Amino acid sequence: MKKLIYPFLFLVTGFASFAQEKLLSDEVQIQNLVQESFEVLFSTYDLNQIDQFYTPDIKILENGEIWDMDIIKGILEDAKKRGASERVNKFDFIETHVDQNMGYTIYHNYATFSANGQINREIHWIESVIAVRTTEGWRIKNLHSFPAKKE
């Protein structure tokens, strides 16, 4: 009987975590995707996970420039080599909507940059993301970013 308990517990635990992820709405999954992509890619510069967040044909519209996957990787590699400042992101989601296999979200993105415990820069952007559902889950296909007006 003891031999059956451990496999049963393993199955129940695995099912519970899978079910919990499925309970998240598509809107929340897209918002989580945005937050996690910034934490992994733009805060830790972990390019090994870029495919977990972006489609291969991603386009980022960044302050008058169009970035494709190669440009994004180059920017992140350069930032990592420079030992860029520590970055902390905060998001204020305005609207998120899903229609079948495509969704979008509009949000404020606040980033605080610091080095040696001292804040050296704070930036506020307004951004939008278009995400598509893939067989691996939601991925960002387009991100449009521009600086928010100073108040």
β strands within the chain, DSSP E: 54-62, 65-67, 86-99, 102-115, 118-134, 137-147
In angstroms, the CA 29 to CA 33 distance is: 6
Decide if pLDDT at 19 tops 80.
no
pLDDT digits 0-9 by tens, 22-52: 689 999 999 999 999 999 999 999 999 999 9
Asked whether residue 14 is assigned to any structural domain, the reply reads no
| Residue 43 resides in a domain | yes
- The full DSSP string for 96-130 is EEEETTEEEEEEEEEEEEEETTEEEEEEEEEEEEE
Distance CA 103, CA 133 (A): 8
Is 11 contained in some domain? no
Q: Is there a contact between 125 and 148 (Cβ–Cβ < 8 Å)?
A: yes
d(CA 27, CA 20) in angstroms, rounded, equals 15
Domain count along the chain: 1
| Residue-range definition of the domain harbouring residue 103 | 25-147
Query: Could you read off the pLDDT of 72-84 as tens digits, one per residue?
Result: 999 999 988 887 6
Q: Which residues pair with 91 in a beta bridge?
A: 109
CATH number of 136's domain:
3.10.450.50
CB-CB neighbours of 111 under 10 Å: 18
Q: What residue has token string 């510069």?
A: 45
Question: Does 125 reside within a domain?
Answer: yes
Percent of the chain with pLDDT over 90: 74
Is 3 contained in some domain?
Answer: no
pTM of the model: 0.82
Each residue of 1-10: pLDDT tens digit? 555 554 544 4
